[in-house]
Amino acid sequence: MKNIQNISPGIFAIITLVVISSIVLLPIDTILLKMSLSDFHSEYIGLAIKMASILIISYGFIKKMKIEPITGLSSAYDWKFKYLNMIPVYLIIIGVSGIIATDVTEIHIGNVVLLLFACLTVGFAEEFLFRGVLQSVFLKKYVHSKNGILISIVLPAIVFGLFHLINLTKNDNVSAVLTQVVFATFIGFFFGVLVLKTNKIIPVAFTHGLINFFFSILLLPGIKDIENIVPLEETGNSIAPIILTLPLLVIGLFVAKKIKKETVVKKLNESFN
């Protein structure tokens, strides 16, 4: 584990992308389809299995590297500035507004539960990996550099955004995927700031999962979209998602300046032991 900790953060990020991309590309959904499951069930059961695997691996790294304090998993640090966790709620509200004009009478509660579980699994897996493991590795390397904390939040956020390029394997709309890369980077940056400023990662993971859920709910089988509303992430060349998430980048930059370096250094000194 010491050898892993001494790897360059850039190399670590590349290895991370390769490993998790390999997991995400596993044909689990195809196997489930052959078991006579529907497209929806195959996709989201498969997604939950893959993301649960990434979550387990990420949590294993956090425990082995002993980085609970810097990842926001240590009980030694209280949950501070809780109100900051409310800022991304506007995205959840926008997601909810997308189903106001829909007929949901034919939706099965089991499908809702599956979608919610899968989305929460995604939220926890990605937060534990990118904001937990990867951001901590960058902080260890750059915290004492000029603008080191900002750099250590930005770079994992960019890696998180680039991870979404994997969607090109199932979506030939390059513009839509590139748009997703950009707004995912904005969201990832804000979440990285939240983890350091609030001392907690679990509320961030829940928020991440709920945002995914409410922007995916129109994909539920049986939903009747009265006004032909299209989920935000499938708006093709629209820059609406970038505009909607830009405030998170701006607010994140402001809050990042308020992060106390001595507190981050203290957490790092208690980690990687």
Can you tell me the distance from the alpha carbon of 188 to that of 20, in angstroms, rounded to the nearest whole number? 17
Residue-level pLDDT at 239: 85
The domain in which residue 254 lies consists of: 2-269
Q: How many domains does the chain have?
A: 1
Residue-level pLDDT at 225: 54
What average pLDDT does the structure give for the chain? 91
The predicted-structure confidence for 19-68, as pLDDT tens digits, reads as follows 999 999 999 999 999 998 999 999 999 999 999 999 999 999 999 999 99
pTM of the model: 0.93
Instruction: Grade residue 86 by pLDDT with cuts at 50, 70 and 90.
Output: very high
Percent of the chain exceeding pLDDT 70 equals 93
The alpha carbon of residue 77 and the mean position of all alpha carbons in its chain are separated, in whole angstroms, by 22
**DSSP summary character for residue 7:** S
